């Protein structure tokens, strides 16, 4: 019997690798498609080390439609596609907008064309809370207005969601979901996989763990004069393992659907934490004082955003099981494992 195969583009990346582990734990066989532009080959070995199963690996760029067609047309038993592969640095996207539009949109359209021709179904798209911009009301629901994105990166996510909606309207049997992530943090409890930022981390938590590990002199808090209780920005930080499990739940949700569907889900914890709260929680978990300074605001930052996750809880039959402390503990353990290896 053909194994329950799931194509995972960007499967050697941060969220992709954690999702491959949870797919295997749920009895699926991931087929990783990755060009290793922003990921490392050894992560595939680590997935095997954690689960005992080595995913198939196809090394190709997701914008290479004919390459994808050649490599995938022989596969049987494909139960779904999870599309992570994308450029995702907000700041970089303002410097290289065309690279971002080409890569993020062309990869999505190539895969959708392929789905149709090869008779695949159940497409899960990696979207982001960035599509909401600065929400007027909190918590954010899936019906909250989509605002003008703050960056080309955010616009590629909005545009890809529109592409998928039009695709599903024109192909009514197709089943498609867009998962809007809030702020993924943390690492697998084994410390064998985790976040591998290239160069200076843009995101808060890897910058914190690298500072604590002595790789950075200090963390700069980007502004403490916002309209929040302690003056620092508020985000919804979700453990990457909870996020990975939500992708398995999304695939199973699509498989359950008798008819075609396009749907959207927020994936967060439903709770907001400020930058200073994250720092304090990290200090408590790691048992150290973090060297940080208050600096100027970072342009493009929104003040406060956290998710209403009732829809995902109900429809995906998924709930977060881990909290901020768990995520910071696992992030710190992963950082220390990197230093040892
Ligand atoms: C969080 C908070 C910063 C670094 C981005 C993308 C989003 C998603 C997740 C892809 C903010 C503050 C940060 C630092 C700081 N990526 N900060 N000092 O900007 O909420 O979201 O990453 O999908 O699309 O926009 O995450 O971790 O960069 O920042 O004070 O050195 O930490 O100002 O308030 P962000 P972040």
d(CA 94, CA 75): 38
228 lines ligand 1 (CB under 6 A): no
Atom of ligand 1 at shortest range from CA of 88: 10
Instruction: Determine how many CB atoms are found less than 10 A away from the CB of residue 189.
Output: 14
pLDDT value at position 76? 84
d(CA 215, CA 334): 14
Average pLDDT score, the chain: 96
- Give the mean pLDDT of 143-159: 94
pLDDT digits (tens, 9 = 90+) for 179-198: 999 999 999 999 999 999 99
Whole-number Å distance, alpha carbon 293 to ligand 1 midpoint, is: 16
Which residues fall within 8 angstroms of residue 79, CB to CB, at 6 or more apart?
4, 5, 6, 28, 122, 251, 255
Q: What residue's CA is closest to ligand 1, atom 27?
A: 203
276 lines ligand 1 (CB under 6 A): no
Atom of ligand 1 at shortest range from CA of 297: 33
Q: What residue's CA is closest to ligand 1, atom 33?
A: 222
Which is higher by pLDDT, 2 or 173? 173
CA geometry: angle at 133 spanning 132 and 134, to 5°? 110
pLDDT digits (tens, 9 = 90+) for 325-337: 999 999 999 999 9
190 lines ligand 1 (CB under 6 A): no
Q: What residue's CA is closest to ligand 1, atom 9?
A: 183
Highest-confidence segment of 70-74, 88-92, 285-289: 285-289
219 lines ligand 1 (CB under 6 A): yes
| Residue 229 pLDDT greater than 70, yes or no | yes
Hey, which residues are catalytic here?
153
96 lines ligand 1 (CB under 6 A): no
Distances (CA, A) of 186 to 37, 50, 196, 211, 329: 22, 16, 11, 16, 8
| Residue 1 pLDDT greater than 60, yes or no | no
Does pTM top 0.85 for this prediction? Answer: yes
Three-state SS letters, the chain: CCCCEEEEECCCCHHHHHHHHHHHHCCCEEEEECCCCCCCCHHHHHHHHHHCCCCEEECCCCCCHHHHHHHHCCCCCEEEEEECCCCCCHHHHHHCHHHHHHHHHHHHHHHHHHHHHHCCCCEEEEEEHHHHCCCCCCCECCCCCCCCCCCHHHHHHHHHHHHHHHHHHHCCCCEEEEEEECEEECCCCCCCCCCCCCCCCCCHHHHHHHHHCCCCCCEEEECCCCCCCCCCCEECEEEHHHHHHHHHHHHHHHHHCCCCEEEEEEECCCCCEEHHHHHHHHHHHHCCCCCEEEECCCCCCCCECCECCHHHHHHCCCCCCCCHHHHHHHHHHHHHHHHHC
Atom of ligand 1 at shortest range from CA of 234: 34
Query: Which residue from 89, 130, 149, 204 has its CB within 8 A of the most atoms of ligand 1, so it is best to mutate?
Result: 204
pLDDT band at 2 (very low <50, low <70, confident <90, very high): low
233 lines ligand 1 (CB under 6 A): yes
301 lines ligand 1 (CB under 6 A): yes
d(CA 118, CA 245): 27
d(CA 218, CA 228): 23
- Give the mean pLDDT of 217-234: 98
């Amino acid at each position: 019997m053909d194994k329950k195969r799931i194509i995972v583009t960007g499967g050697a990346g941060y969220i992709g690798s954690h999702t491959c582990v949870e797919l295997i734990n749920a009895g699926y066989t991931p087929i990783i498609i990755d060009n290793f532009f922003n990921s490392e080959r050894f992560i595939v070995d680590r997935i095997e080390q954690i689960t005992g199963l080595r995913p198939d690996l196809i090394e190709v760029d997701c914008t290479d439609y004919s390459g994808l067609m050649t490599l995938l047309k022989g596969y049987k038993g494909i139960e779904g596609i999870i599309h992570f592969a994308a450029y995702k640095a907000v700041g970089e996207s303002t410097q290289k907008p065309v690279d971002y539009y080409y890569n993020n949109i062309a990869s999505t359209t190539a895969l959708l064309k392929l789905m149709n021709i090869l008779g695949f179904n159940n497409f899960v798209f990696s979207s982001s809370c960035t599509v909401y911009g600065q929400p007027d009301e909190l918590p954010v629901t899936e019906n909250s207005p989509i605002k003008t994105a703050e960056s080309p990166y955010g616009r590629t996510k909005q545009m890809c969601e529109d592409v998928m909606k039009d695709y599903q309207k024109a192909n009514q049997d197709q089943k498609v979901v867009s998962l809007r992530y809030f702020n993924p943090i943390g690492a697998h409890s084994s410390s064998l996989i985790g976040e591998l930022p290239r160069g200076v981390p843009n995101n808060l938590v890897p910058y914190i763990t690298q500072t604590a590990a002595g790789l950075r002199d200090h963390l700069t808090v980007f502004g403490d004069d916002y309209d929040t209780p302690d003056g620092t920005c508020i985000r919804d930080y979700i453990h990457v393992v909870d996020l990975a499990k939500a992708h398995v739940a999304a695939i199973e949700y699509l498989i359950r659907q008798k008819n075609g569907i396009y749907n959207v889900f927020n994936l967060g914890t439903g709770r907001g934490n400020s930058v200073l709260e994250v720092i304090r929680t990290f200090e408590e978990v790691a048992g150290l004082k973090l060297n940080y300074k208050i600096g100027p605001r970072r342009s493009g930052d929104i003040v406060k955003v956290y998710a209403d996750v009732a829809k995902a809880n109900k429809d995906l039959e998924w709930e977060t099981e881990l909290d901020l402390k768990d995520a910071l503990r696992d992030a710190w353990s992963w950082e220390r494992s990197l230093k040892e290896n």
